[in-house]
Structure 1
Amino acid sequence: MRSELFFQSSPWWILVCLVAGAAYAFALYQRRPDWNKRLNYGLAALRFVAVSLICFLLVNPLVRSITTSTEKPKVVLAIDNSESMQVAGRDRLTGALSALEQVRSELSAEGIEVAVQTLGDSAVSENLSAITFNSRSTNLSELLNTIRSNYEGRNLTDVVLVSDGIVNQGVSPTFGRYNFAIHSVGLGDTIPKRDVLLKDAISNKIAYLGNQFPVQADVSSYGFQGKTATVVLRQNGREVGRQNVSFTRPETFQSVTFQAAASQKGVQHLVVEVIPQAGEYSPRNNRRDVYIDVIDGKEKILLLALSPHPDIKAIRSIIEKNENYELDIRILNAGVAEIPDKPYDLIILHQLPDVGNAGSGVVQRVLAKNTPVLFVVGNQSGLQNLNSLNPVMQISASGGQLDKVAGRFNADFQQINLDASKLAILERMPPVSVPFGDYQLKPASQVVLWQQVGTVRTTKPLLALNTTGQRKAAVLAGEGIWEWRLEEFAQTDKQEVVDEMLQKVMQLISVKEDRRKLRVYPTRNEFVTGEKVAFETEMYNDIYERLYNRPVRLEITNEKAVTRVFTYTPTESNGRFEVSTLPEGVYRFRATASLNGKTETATGEFFVRELQLEALNTTADHLLLRQLSQQTGGRFYNASSLASLRQDLQKQKPVSRLSSSEQLNELINLRWLFFLIVTLAALEWGFRKYLGGY
């Protein structure tokens, strides 16, 4: 380390400091007859040095320290420890690792630091033969990027990548940019195996109860020309389909499609399998598992109308655009209508309650529960009963007079995302018929559309909603939206703006609120074998404030009805619980907790999928490794030429790197100067007291 002194002011201040120290010593230590002359000079010198040094520190000089360090060159052995590395035989792999261990030892003896990195793991320091090749996927790009990140700014010169070149996750490593040379060592077997492979099984992740859904199986083969294989689809252990595929060439790829039925609610486990052929290399890649979440998730809507009307067809067309909706339409016949016994999510009342009060019994029956409702007002609507039933607005009209108005979007309405520029088209639509009178919004109601008479903008609501009460509701105070849809199509060749607005309003008022006091749910619905299944837990009291430190009992049941029981206590700092070592399959869970003296329950499903990426392709790709080495200035080696790798690395031994760091400090911050001044002052004081001087 080398140090230099810098001044923030003129160096001539040093003379001032020396003069101050000399003047102080001269004034204090005049010659005294009772003291020895040499002793007097010595005490004066101590005072001179101490005072001069203190004055010098007041000048505030800086010390620049330069530290130079030597960093040895570094080489990283990047080992692909995936399952496919053992395809060519464990003996060949062990021999290659022994040769690499010798390369590592000799490079270390040459003063080169050698580290080992494997897939998904931190650096490995033990013997290479202790590495277990059990990784179920290969992401060489991630491996090299990890090395680049870990050794950024350090003297990393070479990386030795030991791999078979098979990449089944992430991007190809040849697309990356690396600031070090990559020498690749190609292992594995480059000769394709005689095998039948189920490359993929493709299906929807969600299916609706009662529907059919397709399952596509992609089958490839090598070396089975003239043979025939059978592809079987099983659902929950029961065979539901079987098809044959013919291999007309030495290497083939073809797809077959099955139709399966979503006949049972919940996660369904389907297995697609190719019956193994005689002489196949491995039957592991002949099977694929498919998981379908069958839900009864269609929103059930009841449209109850006083009489036939063109608006009913328009509303039906809008609703049926969304396949998640199931619509029932009922028209009153002499005040009577047969209503299906279903738990509806939304009720649309068209011109009900009516002015003649004919459908009052049916209306009261469908509104017996707090089901969300959309009121569509027409010239037959009974406004007095409407005002008592809806929590959105009051309409005061008499004489059955109607008004013709257009719709104008309320730009202040923010509960749902609607494009105001698109909705401006409503002002050019044919007018709808609304009751002529006074309109008054009820508390917490929000306006979606205002009424506009010609070019006059009014403050009367045309479409408004209220989502704060026990019953969510919306009121469309006019009839004739069927003309809006026709006019929009005439102007734009589309029917999007009106449909989107009404669809989102219906979604907003029909969305269900989760009022459960215990909520336990997995962080994802799908996990892979070997991965921890994490559950999040939320607990609430009667006013929905978060609760903690209550024990939760969690029961997890697999497809064979085997149950595992866990107990945990979520805290404010950690509400997550993890379960490990779950094998492949569909699981159902049930969580219970005692909250405020009541037992609350939460249930759900998830599934664990087994990854077979390493079984899908076992043919080594040394061409990729050669390309990667060529791009980075490295060389390609195979198992028999590892001695050349050692010689090449030793021949072009990288030099150590010198690095310097500079640091500026104020001289007054040096601790040893404090002790020096204290020592000088103590010596002077001690001698003076000893000699009787004050």
Structure 2
Amino acid sequence: MKSEIVSQTPGWYILLCLGWGIALAVLYYVRASVFTRNQKRLLALLRGVLGFLVAFLLLNPLIKTVSSLILKPKVVVLVDNSRSMRSGGNLKEAGAGLEALRKDIEKKGYEFEIRNLDDLPVTGFTPDAFQARKTNLSAGMNAIRNNYEGQNLSDVILFSDGIMNDGVSPTFQKYPFRVHTVGFGDSTLKRDAFIAGVSANRLAYLGNNFTVSLDVGSYLMKGKTARVEILDSEGKVLENRTTGYGTDETFESISFTLPAKAVGKQRYIARLQVLEGEHSEKNNRREFVVDVVNGKEKILLLASAPHPDIKALKSIIEKNDLFELNVKIVQDSDAAAVQNEVFDVLILHQFPDAAQLHTRFLGALLARQKPVFFIPGSRSDLSYFNGMQNIVGIQAQPGKLDKVTSQVNSSFSLFTIGQNQAALIADLPPLTVPFGNYTLHTGSDVILGQYVSGINTSRPLLAVNLTGTRKMAAFLGDGLWQWRLEEFAMTGAHESLDDLLLKTLQLISVREEKGKLRVYPVADVFEADQRVSFVAEVYNEIFERIFDQNIRLKIKPQGGAEKVYDFTISEGMSRFELSALPPGVYTYEASAKVQGKDEVSGGQFVVSDTDLETQNTTADFSLLRTLARENGGDFVDAAHIFELRNSLEEKGLINRVVAQEDLKDLINLRWLLALILAFATVEWVLRKYFGSY
């Protein structure tokens, strides 16, 4: 450990402190007649040193301590815990091999961890530990990279069958550690035909046709033909085609055009004829759901000038098929015509503007009482902004800006924000906001708060107000495009930020539900082995939550018999769960007597039996070999896991030395107070001893 004193002022200030100490010594003792020469020298030295120390401490010097920390190399095993791994081989034997490798590495003093794709520790290699219905290897690798940042993560060992059905390939990225791969499963091609994927509109509009594209492949089925069908939820064949397998390995896309005849969630089944000798029948069937709606929400985005944030907003909004976006950069020549635009939600980027262009059209648009999303900026007139909305008041001088980061408000509850999502938003770079005093209006809810140097300023960055005649939201930062770029650099996707802003738009655009009873499923589509969970909310006349209410829930599958459930909600439990529902489209109706009145709430949900992990069970070792080769590692099959010990030793597990620097105020050292008191006490005692006062 090495320490040194660091001054925050110019060096010649120390000379002034030294001069001050000498002046005190001279002033008190040069002309003193009661002391001998040697006594004067001793007392003057004590007084001078005391004066110098006090003056020097007033300069607030710092003490810098540099220490070295030795980080041991760490090896992390990332286990693919998807369902396809259960049929790939002997899991118990593979687990024993990893356990032997762990003991060998820990015996040498290194750290070793085993985690799965869900970022949880792995405690056993039994079939029950491999339950994930999707495989996203890239997300698992990124989680390891982010969670172990700053540590001496030397090597990652990916234990997988290489079968992916979600996300992008991990071979598209480079990692700051060596990646070794362990191939588990059978990579031998088997006689089989399968539906590799289904591409269909998530949304369709009533009366229109929509296209469904099926990816059909085969292995070792040369010369055979099969029928491909699309069925509705009742099993009725809507369309069919015949496909032929011309070679030992085929792949073909087959398109169907279907009509959208009824509003609501429609469940369809894609089915490929099963031929004799096929390895698996499960991958010959796929389900998909199409939500048929009457129309889109029209969003009008008005901007005072071109800005990269507009492109970012456009990219975000267009991800939601329920929104139809119209972007206009308003000029003097077309300001009056803007009043005639049709919209359901209005987004104002840097309007109201300092050039007062907004006075020619904005009043007429706001008079329609439609939801508004304000995004003020450097070109905005904040005095007009304060008068147009009931979210936040900003008192700031024109041109005065501040740089802030943001964190999710932990008490916000109008929609769900995940922990990983909140952590990522906190790591995004600073945005530019108006510098001044912020006053949050009554009824406003803060979604994101402004943080300056890690300090919560209690000022909002993103907030909503759902009270009053129309719903409003405001995003007060400039630089949204930078946030999207940074998130993509960190995760390889635009998800967390886009999800947050889309949910905010949905929050202010949703039409107000006036019923006192609201019961809804937590998802639109559930898998067959998932529990179907409902949230129940009951409100009084002023829309405050009330509890201890009895609710009757009726659930009816399409073409089936109705079932009735009764439950009671409490403050600690407002959910009701069902299990073992067969696949199908369900309608539900909840009823309750709330404060003497009958209230009803209903809707739809879908239970699907599509299991992506059964669609392909042939291990893909080529992906694992490529991943290892491109990241400086080695590939082995599961039977030779322990051989990775040699690879780790050859490539080197090296301790890393990290220098840590710590700055503290010198005045906070307690022993300095004792030293100053000691000098003052000794001087006073000697003066008394030498005969002075």
Distance in 2 of aligned mates of 1:409 and 1:21: 76
Label 1:26 to 1:591 Cα distance change in 2 as closer, same or farther (>3 A): farther
Q: Secondary structure of the residue that 2:279 maps to in structure 1?
A: coil
Deviation per CA, 1:158-184: give whole Å up to 9, x if none.
222222221111111111122222122
**Aligned twin of 1:638:** 637
Aligned-pair distance for 1:152? 2.4
Aligned-pair distance for 1:216? 6.6
Contact 2:187–2:618, Cα closer than 8 Å, also in 1 = yes
Distance in 2 of aligned mates of 1:265 and 1:666: 69
Aligned-pair distance for 1:603? 0.8
Contact 2:204–2:292, Cα closer than 8 Å, also in 1 = yes
Matching residue within 273, 279, 282 for 2:280: 282
Q: Secondary structure of the residue that 1:607 maps to in structure 2?
A: strand
Deviation per CA, 1:50-89: give whole Å up to 9, x if none.
6664344235433222122111222221222222223332
Deviation per CA, 1:167-206: give whole Å up to 9, x if none.
1111111111222221222221111122232334566656
Aligned-pair distance for 1:94? 2.8
Q: Secondary structure of the residue that 1:152 maps to in structure 2?
A: coil
Distance in 1 of aligned mates of 2:510 and 2:4: 74
Deviation per CA, 1:392-416: give whole Å up to 9, x if none.
xxxxxxxxxxxxxxxx995251662
Q: Secondary structure of the residue that 2:282 maps to in structure 1?
A: helix
**Aligned twin of 1:109:** 107
Contact 2:29–2:43, Cα closer than 8 Å, also in 1 = no
**Aligned twin of 1:77:** 77
Give the TM-score taking structure 1 as reference length: 0.57
Q: Does 1:94 align with 2:92?
A: yes
Amino acid paired to 1:148 = R
Matches within 5 A, 1:520-559: 520-522=519-521, 524-528=523-527, 546-550=543-547, 553=551, 555=553, 557=555, 559=557
Deviation per CA, 1:566-594: give whole Å up to 9, x if none.
443579xx9x8574756544333323455
**Aligned twin of 2:339:** 413
Distance in 1 of aligned mates of 2:32 and 2:130: 84
How many residues are treated as equivalent by the alignment?
A: 486
Matches within 5 A, 1:296-375: 297=294
**Aligned twin of 2:141:** 144
Question: Which deviates more from structure 2 when the two are superposed, residues 63-72 or residues 608-617?
Answer: 608-617
Label 1:264 to 1:111 Cα distance change in 2 as closer, same or farther (>3 A): same
Q: Secondary structure of the residue that 1:199 maps to in structure 2?
A: strand
Label 1:592 to 1:621 Cα distance change in 2 as closer, same or farther (>3 A): same
**Aligned twin of 1:176:** 173
Label 1:137 to 1:217 Cα distance change in 2 as closer, same or farther (>3 A): same
Aligned-pair distance for 1:527? 3.8
Contact 2:200–2:212, Cα closer than 8 Å, also in 1 = yes
Deviation per CA, 1:589-619: give whole Å up to 9, x if none.
3234555542221110111334421111111
Q: Secondary structure of the residue that 2:342 maps to in structure 1?
A: coil
Q: Secondary structure of the residue that 2:602 maps to in structure 1?
A: strand
Contact 2:88–2:161, Cα closer than 8 Å, also in 1 = no
Distance in 1 of aligned mates of 2:168 and 2:339: 45
Q: Secondary structure of the residue that 1:183 maps to in structure 2?
A: strand
**Aligned twin of 2:599:** 600
Q: Secondary structure of the residue that 1:590 maps to in structure 2?
A: strand
Label 1:18 to 1:212 Cα distance change in 2 as closer, same or farther (>3 A): closer
Deviation per CA, 1:196-238: give whole Å up to 9, x if none.
3233456665678899988776544333445565666654445
Question: Which deviates more from structure 2 when the two are superposed, residues 545-554 or residues 158-167?
Answer: 545-554
Distance in 2 of aligned mates of 1:287 and 1:132: 26
Question: Which deviates more from structure 2 when the two are superposed, residues 654-663 or residues 519-528?
Answer: 519-528
Distance in 2 of aligned mates of 1:597 and 1:30: 102
**Aligned twin of 1:187:** 184
Amino acid paired to 1:656 = N
Q: Does 1:663 align with 2:658?
A: no
Distance in 1 of aligned mates of 2:48 and 2:261: 102
Distance in 1 of aligned mates of 2:137 and 2:46: 70
Question: Which deviates more from structure 2 when the two are superposed, residues 668-677 or residues 45-54?
Answer: 45-54
Distance in 2 of aligned mates of 1:210 and 1:173: 42
Distance in 2 of aligned mates of 1:239 and 1:539: 40
Question: Which deviates more from structure 2 when the two are superposed, residues 678-687 or residues 102-111?
Answer: 678-687
Distance in 1 of aligned mates of 2:137 and 2:510: 46
Deviation per CA, 1:247-295: give whole Å up to 9, x if none.
5654445677889887877545444444644443222223223445567
Contact 1:526–1:609, Cα closer than 8 Å, also in 2 = yes
Structure 2: tracts of 5 or more residues without a match: 297-333, 345-363, 370-508
Amino acid paired to 1:164 = D
Distance in 1 of aligned mates of 2:589 and 2:686: 86
Label 1:689 to 1:101 Cα distance change in 2 as closer, same or farther (>3 A): farther
Label 1:664 to 1:277 Cα distance change in 2 as closer, same or farther (>3 A): same
Amino acid paired to 1:601 = V
Distance in 2 of aligned mates of 1:166 and 1:238: 31
Distance in 2 of aligned mates of 1:289 and 1:180: 40
Deviation per CA, 1:354-392: give whole Å up to 9, x if none.
xxxxxxxxxxxxxxxxxxxxxxxxxxxxxxxxxxxxxxx
Amino acid paired to 2:602 = T
Distance in 2 of aligned mates of 1:52 and 1:261: 91
Q: Secondary structure of the residue that 1:102 maps to in structure 2?
A: helix
Amino acid paired to 1:282 = S
Label 1:579 to 1:413 Cα distance change in 2 as closer, same or farther (>3 A): farther
CA RMSD of aligned residues (A): 5.0
**Aligned twin of 1:61:** 61
Distance in 2 of aligned mates of 1:680 and 1:274: 95
Contact 1:79–1:119, Cα closer than 8 Å, also in 2 = yes
Question: Which deviates more from structure 2 when the two are superposed, residues 43-52 or residues 604-613?
Answer: 43-52
Q: Percent identity?
A: 37
Contact 2:18–2:52, Cα closer than 8 Å, also in 1 = no
Question: Which deviates more from structure 2 when the two are superposed, residues 174-183 or residues 280-289?
Answer: 280-289
Give the TM-score taking structure 2 as reference length: 0.57
Q: Does 1:165 align with 2:156?
A: no
**Aligned twin of 1:568:** 569
Distance in 1 of aligned mates of 2:103 and 2:510: 66
Matching residue within 115, 118, 123 for 2:116: 118
Q: Does 1:622 align with 2:548?
A: no
Contact 1:67–1:661, Cα closer than 8 Å, also in 2 = yes
Contact 1:26–1:44, Cα closer than 8 Å, also in 2 = yes
Distance in 2 of aligned mates of 1:290 and 1:611: 8
Distance in 2 of aligned mates of 1:625 and 1:646: 18
Matching residue within 509, 513, 516 for 2:514: 516
Distance in 2 of aligned mates of 1:82 and 1:513: 40
Amino acid paired to 1:188 = G
Distance in 2 of aligned mates of 1:57 and 1:255: 79
Amino acid paired to 1:76 = V
Label 1:281 to 1:645 Cα distance change in 2 as closer, same or farther (>3 A): same
Q: Secondary structure of the residue that 2:70 maps to in structure 1?
A: strand
Structure 1: tracts of 5 or more residues without a match: 33-38, 300-407, 419-440, 447-510
Distance in 2 of aligned mates of 1:539 and 1:74: 51
